[in-house]
């Protein structure tokens, strides 16, 4: 299982936004939608061994499970509609219990701390960091979770949580990438078993 956690700092936690304005009034939800695309979609199908957690303003988490998700298309607009539908179900998420909004997509009232704790139990939390070990020198862990931020840097609180939970710091290359491109490169690193299997 590969997991990705993406912190969205400005994405609304209520569904009151237009699909025509993902980059503005929806707080750069377009980027999070491209992260879902990069995490799940290949040329001939869907990666079913992947789970993505979109942590919205450290308050709600929308989780997409590749094993059960349906109707996930490549374009930003239709993916954003799925996230918006999840937000429409936010009041059904009571305590830390998830509310399923569509097949394979659920929303919970939890922040980064809970998500990271769960991922650490599931496997190895990897922090992508420019001072980390070079990816070509590190064999991929078995059940990795990659933690990424949107167009904003991690907040101090998030960075602290991440530093405490992460088992590994990894440098994916010399160029600082947007989160969605980093997801693609992380998959490439894993698919090729650290650039040894093509």
Among 49, 75, 92, 164, binds its own copies (CB under 8 A): 75
- 57-79 burial code (b ≥16 CB/10 A, e <16): ebebbbbbbbeebeebeeebeeb
Strand partners, 126: 146, 168
Q: How far apart are alpha carbons 116 and 17 in whole angstroms? A: 28
Among 44, 131, 142, 156, binds its own copies (CB under 8 A): 44
C-alpha dist (Å) from residue 23 to 11, 63, 128, 151, 166: 10, 21, 24, 11, 30
Q: How far apart are alpha carbons 128 and 194 in whole angstroms? A: 15
Contact flag: residue 169 with its own copies (CB under 8 A): no
Shortest distance (Å) from residue 74 CB to its own copies:
6
Shortest distance (Å) from residue 119 CB to its own copies:
23
Contact flag: residue 129 with its own copies (CB under 8 A): no
Beta-carbon count within 10 A of 165 CB: 18
Among 70, 77, 96, 152, binds its own copies (CB under 8 A): 77
Shortest distance (Å) from residue 136 CB to its own copies:
5
Contact flag: residue 196 with its own copies (CB under 8 A): yes
User: In terms of CB distance, is 143 or 178 closer to its own copies?
Assistant: 178
Residue carrying structure tokens 């809970």: 114
Contact flag: residue 43 with its own copies (CB under 8 A): yes
Interface residue list for its own copies (CB under 8 A):
19-20, 22-23, 30-31, 34, 37-38, 41-44, 73-78, 134-137, 171-178, 181, 184-185, 187-188, 191-192, 195-198
């Amino acid at each position: 299982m590969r997991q990705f956690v993406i912190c969205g700092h400005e994405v609304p936690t209520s569904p009151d936004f237009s699909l025509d304005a993902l980059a503005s009034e929806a707080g750069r939800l377009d980027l999070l939608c491209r992260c879902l695309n990069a995490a799940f979609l290949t040329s001939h199908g869907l990666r079913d061994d992947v789970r993505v957690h979109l942590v919205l303003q450290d308050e709600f988490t929308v989780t997409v499970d590749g094993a059960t998700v349906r109707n996930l298309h490549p374009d930003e607009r239709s993916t954003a509609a799925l996230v918006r539908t999840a937000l429409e179900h936010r009041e059904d998420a009571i305590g830390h219990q998830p509310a399923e909004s569509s097949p394979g997509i659920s929303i919970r009232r939890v922040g980064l701390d809970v998500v990271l704790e769960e991922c650490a139990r599931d496997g190895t939390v990897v922090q992508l960091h420019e001072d980390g070990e070079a990816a070509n020198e590190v064999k991929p862990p078995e059940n990795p979770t990659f933690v990424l931020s949107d167009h904003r840097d991690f907040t101090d609180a998030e960075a602290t949580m991440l530093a405490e939970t992460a088992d590994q710091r990894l440098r994916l290359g010399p160029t600082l990438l947007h989160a969605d491109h980093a997801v693609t490169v992380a998959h490439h690193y894993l698919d090729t078993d650290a650039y040894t299997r093509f």
